[in-house]
């Protein structure tokens, strides 16, 4: 595999390369090619359907996902919420994982803005929702006590447990359960291209069983803004109305879509580099005393580790020291785990520098 080295001579890229930022793949800046495409983008009023660049991005996203249509939205959160509000009406119920981004990290939007009740089920160590748990959570529609269950949402890759890819067979098995109960299936595919790269399958195989799929342009794919919601022409037509209701009807959005086109055309094919760098990072960290890490959980661009019990410092102190002394940015632990994420701006050399910095600080703080 050839490694893409970000153009560090480019002025626009320079600041991104000043620090080693492993907090998330959302920290990625647009590439120089994206900035150029943005500057030269053809635009129009997208609420009138007049923006040729947005139209091109939507057609491209739909085609790559194997769906009839797609909608450009401001964020992954807006894409998931738009999907929920299009599939469900107020008072309906949906099933999602207990640590799903949509449940934990999207400000309760489905409940607050859609009146949609989330029924959560445990997320298994492999990132899946157990089919029996989904079945057991579907409310009996004949019983007047219960909200009507309309939707199941799964996350691919599953983020909170480690960027775990859910294979096509599993997604098809969730579809079969949905069919048994007449439910819709939405995939939060914020990082679905990472899942496809890790599984070595066409992303269409992961999207095919779903009624709707959201994927983010602004994470490992480096675009500055935006996500795509994909589905049938009828679904996307209705979703377009919901997006407008949410305040997401954008005007000359071609400036943003231009970067999105590069994200889909040029950045999806290189994600295996980020996965290889995550393995390199995990292997380096696993060799440091006081770090506990399960290599089996390193499947895409995320590395989770714990600090051993009994150390005289905690993860927050480590994060502070790394930033202060090495300009290496990591988030403090959540639930006892520290998550590091590789992305376009993290080269193998920068992985090695980060591992060295972590080793130094672990020794110094101990």
Ligand X SMILES: Cc1ncc(COP(=O)(O)O)c(C=O)c1O
Q: Which of residues 245-304 bind ligand X (CB under 6 A)?
A: none
With b for 16 or more beta-carbon neighbours within 10 A and e for fewer, the 284-316 pattern comes to bbbebebbebeeebbbbbbbbbbbeeebebebe
Cα 122 to its chain centre, rounded Å, is: 19
User: Is residue 194 a contact partner of residue 165, using CB atoms and an 8 Å limit?
Assistant: yes
User: What single DSSP character describes residue 123?
Assistant: B
Per CB under 6 A, 127 contacts ligand X: no
Q: Is 21 in the site for ligand X (CB under 6 A)?
A: no
Of the candidate residues 51, 155, 211, 273, the single one contacting ligand X (CB under 6 A): 155
Phi, psi of 243, deg, nearest 5:
-55, -40
Choice between 155 and 211, CB closer to ligand X: 155
Would you count residue 75 as binding ligand X (CB under 6 A)? yes
Residue 217 DSSP label? S
Among 30, 97, 127, 159, binds ligand X (CB under 6 A): 159
Which of the 8 DSSP states describes residue 25? Answer: G
Alpha-carbon distance 64 to 75, whole Å? 19
> Any contact of residue 76 with ligand X (CB under 6 A)?
yes
* Contact stretch for ligand X (CB under 6 A) within 72-80, 197-205, 255-263, 322-330: 72-80
Closer Cβ to ligand X, 255 or 291, answer by number:
255
Which span sits near ligand X by CB under 6 A: 76-84, 162-170, 255-263, 325-333? 76-84
Shortest CA distance to 189 belongs to which of 153, 213, 173, 205?
A: 213
227 lines the binding site for ligand X (CB under 6 A)? yes
Regarding 342 and contact with ligand X (CB under 6 A), the answer is: no
Q: Which among 73-81, 89-97, 126-134, 356-364 is the span making contact with ligand X, rule CB under 6 A?
A: 73-81
Give the interface with ligand X as residue ranges (CB under 6 A): 26, 75-77, 80, 101, 155, 159, 188, 190, 216, 218, 227
């Amino acid at each position: 595999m050839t490694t893409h080295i970000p153009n560090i001579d480019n002025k626009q890229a320079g600041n991104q390369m000043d620090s080693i930022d492993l907090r998330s793949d959302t920290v990625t800046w647009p590439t120089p090619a994206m900035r150029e495409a943005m500057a030269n983008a053809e635009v129009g009023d997208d609420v009138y359907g007049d923006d040729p660049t947005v139209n091109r991005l939507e057609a491209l996203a739909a085609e790559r996902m194997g769906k009839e249509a797609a909608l450009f939205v401001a964020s992954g959160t807006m894409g998931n919420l738009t999907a929920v509000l299009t599939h469900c009406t107020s008072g309906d119920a949906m099933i999602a994982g207990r640590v799903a981004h949509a449940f934990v990290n999207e400000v309760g939007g489905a409940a607050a803005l859609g009146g949609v009740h989330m029924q959560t089920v445990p997320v298994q160590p492999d990132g899946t929702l157990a089919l029996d748990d989904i079945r057991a959570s579907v409310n009996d529609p004949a019983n007047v006590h219960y909200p009507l269950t309309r939707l199941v949402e799964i996350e691919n890759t599953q983020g909170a447990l480690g960027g775990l890819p859910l294979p096509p067979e599993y997604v098809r098995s969730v579809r079969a359960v949905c069919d048994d109960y007449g439910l819709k299936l939405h995939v939060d595919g914020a990082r679905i291209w990472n899942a496809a790269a890790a599984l070595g399958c066409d992303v269409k195989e992961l999207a095919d069983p779903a009624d709707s799929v959201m994927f983010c342009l602004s994470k490992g794919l480096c675009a500055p803004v935006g996500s795509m919601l994909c589905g049938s022409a009828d679904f996307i037509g209705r979703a377009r109305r919901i997006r407008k209701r949410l305040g997401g009807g954008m005007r000359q959005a071609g400036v943003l879509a231009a970067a999105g086109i590069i994200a889909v055309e040029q950045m999806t094919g290189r994600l295996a580099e980020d996965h290889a760098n995550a393995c390199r990072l995990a292997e380096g960290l696993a060799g440091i005393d006081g770090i506990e890490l399960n290599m089996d959980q390193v499947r895409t661009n995320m590395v989770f580790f714990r600090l051993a019990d009994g150390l005289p410092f905690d993860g927050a102190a480590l994060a502070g020291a790394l930033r202060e002394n090495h300009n290496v940015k990591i988030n403090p632990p959540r639930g006892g785990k520290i998550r590091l994420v590789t992305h376009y701006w993290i080269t193998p050399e920068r992985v090695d520098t980060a591992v060295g910095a972590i080793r130094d600080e672990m020794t110094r703080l101990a």
